[in-house]
């Protein structure tokens, strides 16, 4: 069932996600048994019952003025069972099947490169850096499907300011965990591991760019990029790196996984642009996951509908050349 979110009620309080995730079982003393009863590999396995935060744990959030309104939310079931996470397989259902073995505690994110404050942050340090916000954002994937997701996090700029990048740092690179023992499909998917993504500094500092720890008011399930990922809502989904372990501040445009593999198909900027087709399919429309069949197809919006906020970042750029 699709649920419309009133502006004054947190989505985590009105969505019948408990039937799918069974929050009470996760929070109870019998958390591990509850996860097994649910088929935990489908919802983000509880791998450490003693950890402070894990998939299924409620996160305290504040209201965000940057949240997208007037959209029907994609159900938690669809968000957690239809994923791109190639370290766990190329089929949309593979991450839910295989990501349960990912150990998200302990977890650290190291800061490197052109920055004053080179430091390693524990995940719980990151969670407490500033108040967490719930923001409803559209997610548009390059394969022409989309969702509307209530993410939990805070502007990446809050983290960057605490790192104190040098004036010579023009880009930010994000590196994901690369562990073939936990991520079995790294051996069969021919990307240049570890998964790498990058943003220009002004893109990274834009208030819409979200350092993300949860969805639907709870910690991220493994298949959705636990325990920390990026969300850049005006770009195609592959720009939003998952399971981040390193953040580097660099002077030159960094190498990124999909741009390295197929530069003709995946540009560095990868802004949602209906006027620039993927070489193998159109980007002029999209399929909204979870909607009734007759309602799924809709026109793709420039910058995924966030043009009023971000178009000025690209003034004077040829967006067909810099795709």
In a domain, 44, yes or no: no
Buried/exposed code over 68-102 (b: 16+ C-beta within 10 A; e: otherwise): beebebbbbbbbbbbbbbbbbbeeeebbbebbbeb
**What range defines the domain where residue 140 resides?**
58-314
In a domain, 37, yes or no: no
Residue-wise pLDDT for 186-223, tens only, equals 998 889 999 999 999 999 999 999 999 999 999 999 99
Per-residue pLDDT of the chain (323 residues; tens, 9 = 90+): 333 333 443 444 433 343 334 333 333 333 333 332 333 333 333 333 334 466 778 999 998 999 999 999 999 999 999 999 999 999 999 999 999 999 999 999 999 999 999 999 999 999 999 999 999 999 999 999 999 999 999 999 999 999 999 999 999 999 999 999 999 999 988 899 999 999 999 999 999 999 999 999 999 999 999 999 999 999 999 999 999 999 999 999 999 999 999 999 999 999 999 999 999 999 999 999 999 988 999 999 999 999 999 999 999 999 999 99
CATH number at residue 245: 3.90.420.10
CB 150, CB 134: distance < 8 Å: yes
Total of domains in the chain:
1
Residue that the structure tokens 């504040």 belong to: 62
pLDDT given at position 54: 62
In a domain, 15, yes or no: no
In a domain, 65, yes or no: yes
Could you write out the three-class secondary structure of 164-188? CECCCCCEEEEEECCCCCCCHHHHC
In a domain, 206, yes or no: yes
In a domain, 26, yes or no: no
In a domain, 274, yes or no: yes
CB 152, CB 61: distance < 8 Å: yes
In a domain, 16, yes or no: no
């Amino acid at each position: 069932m699709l649920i419309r979110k009133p502006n004054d009620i947190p989505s985590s309080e009105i969505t019948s996600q408990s039937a799918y995730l069974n929050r009470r079982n996760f929070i109870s003393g019998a958390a591990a048994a509850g996860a097994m009863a649910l088929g935990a590999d489908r919802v983000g396995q509880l791998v450490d019952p003693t950890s402070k935060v894990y998939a299924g744990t409620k996160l305290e959030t504040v209201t965000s003025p940057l949240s997208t309104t007037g959209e029907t939310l994609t159900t938690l079931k669809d968000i957690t069972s239809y994923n791109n996470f190639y370290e766990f397989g190329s089929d949309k259902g593979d991450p839910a099947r295989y990501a349960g073995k990912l150990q998200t505690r302990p977890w650290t994110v190291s800061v490197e490169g052109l920055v004053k404050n080179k430091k390693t942050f524990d995940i719980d340090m990151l969670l407490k850096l500033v108040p967490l916000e719930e923001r409803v954002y559209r997610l548009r994937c390059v394969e022409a499907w989309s969702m509307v997701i209530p993410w939990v996090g805070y502007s990446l700029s809050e983290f960057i300011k605490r790192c104190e990048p040098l004036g010579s740092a023009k880009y930010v690179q994000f590196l994901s965990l690369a562990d073939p023992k936990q991520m079995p499909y790294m051996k069969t998917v021919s990307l240049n591991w570890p998964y790498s993504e990058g943003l220009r500094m002004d893109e990274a500092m834009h208030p819409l760019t979200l350092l993300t720890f949860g969805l639907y008011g709870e910690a991220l399930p493994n298949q959705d990029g636990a325990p920390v990922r990026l969300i850049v809502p005006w770009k195609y989904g592959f720009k939003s790196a998952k399971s981040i372990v390193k953040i580097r501040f660099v002077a030159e445009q960094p190498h990124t996984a999909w741009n390295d593999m197929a530069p003709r198909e995946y540009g560095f900027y990868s802004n949602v642009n209906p006027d620039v087709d993927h070489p193998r399919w159109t980007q002029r429309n999209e399929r909204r996951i979870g909607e009734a069949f007759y309602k799924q197809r809709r026109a793709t919006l420039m910058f995924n509908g966030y043009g009023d906020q971000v178009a000025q970042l690209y003034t004077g750029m040829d967006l067909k050349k810099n795709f």
